[in-house]
Amino acid sequence: MERNVGEVDRIVRIVVGVVLLAWAIAFDGPSWTWIGVLPLATGLLRWCPGYTIFGSSTCAKSGGK
């Protein structure tokens, strides 16, 4: 798996995932809050299958020529 999730994207995904899961667990949130597993996983793995399908990436371009 080639990384396709950049640093800012990664941080946002992790924060959103943790907030949604905390809402689901600690505050007995609605069942849809368990979707927080997805952004958390993609942020931790630094790979998003949706980006792969659409040929997108938020990673910075590598330096060089």
Residues 5-18 pLDDT 10s: 999 999 999 999 99
User: How high is the pLDDT of residue 43?
Assistant: 97
Q: Give pLDDT tens digits for 13-54.
A: 999 999 999 999 999 999 999 999 999 999 999 999 999 999
Evaluate the CA torsion angle 19, 24, 29, 35 in order and state its sign. Answer: positive
Q: Where are the domains of the chain?
A: 7-54
